[in-house]
Amino acid sequence: MTSNEDRTAAIALSRRILALARQHDHAALLAIDSDPETGRLLGSSDEELAKAASVHLRGARAWRRKKEDANLRRLEEARTAIDGFDIARAKSLLLRIEDDYLTSESSSLRDGVLLDLEARSMESESLQASADQIIVEHLPRWKRWLRRRG
C-alpha cells in the first residue's frame, strides 16, 4: 500500500472506531484492536482522528481488564463459598462468569473451582442421605418420648 492508501485506510478505520465507541460496543473495538493492521495504520497516521481512535481502543482494553478482574473476583468468591458449604452461592457466582473474558489463569482456576464444587455437592448429598437415615431410624423413639412427656 502506498502512504496515501494507508492514510485513507487509517481515516476510515478511525471513523469506524469512533462510531463503535459512541455505541459503547467494546467487544467490536477489541476485535478491531486484535487486528495487527490496526496498530500499524493508526501508528503511522498523524491525524487527530487516529489519535482519538487510539484512545478509544485503550479504553476498550481497560474495559476488558475490568471484565477479567470481575471474573477472577467471582472465582475467588466462589472458592470461599465452596469452602463454607454455600453451594448455591458458588453456583450463582459461577453462572455469572463471562467465558469470553477468561484469561488462561482464571480458566484453570475455574476448572479447579468446578471440581471442588462437584466434590462438595457429592459430600453434601452424602450428608443429607445420612441425616435422612438417622431421622427415619430415630423418629419412632422420638415420637414415643413425646407421648410419654405429654
What local confidence, expressed as pLDDT, does residue 109 receive?
Answer: 94
Rounded Cα–Cα distance for residues 41 and 8 (Å) = 10
What local confidence, expressed as pLDDT, does residue 117 receive?
Answer: 94
What local confidence, expressed as pLDDT, does residue 123 receive?
Answer: 87
Rounded Cα–Cα distance for residues 94 and 104 (Å) = 16
For range 41-66, the mean pLDDT: 90
Rounded Cα–Cα distance for residues 43 and 15 (Å) = 15
For range 39-50, the mean pLDDT: 85
User: Please, which pLDDT band fits residue 1 given cuts at 50, 70 and 90?
Assistant: very low
What local confidence, expressed as pLDDT, does residue 59 receive?
Answer: 95
Residue range of the domain that includes 136: 3-149
For range 63-86, the mean pLDDT: 95
User: Please, which pLDDT band fits residue 76 given cuts at 50, 70 and 90?
Assistant: very high
Render pLDDT for 127-150 as a digit per residue (tens, 0 to 9): 888 888 888 787 777 777 777 886
Render pLDDT for 89-107 as a digit per residue (tens, 0 to 9): 999 999 999 999 999 999 9
The three-state (H, E, C) secondary structure of the chain, written as one string: CCHHHHHHHHHHHHHHHHHHHHCCCHHHHHHHHHCHHHHHHHHHCCCHHHHHHHHHHHHHHHHHHHHHHHHHHHHHHHHHHHHCCCHHHHHHHHHCCCHHHCCHHHHHHHHHHHHHHHHHHHHHHHHHHHHHHHHHHHHHHHHHHHHHHC
Count of the separate structural domains present in the chain? 1
Rounded to 5 degrees, φ, ψ at 22 are -65, -30
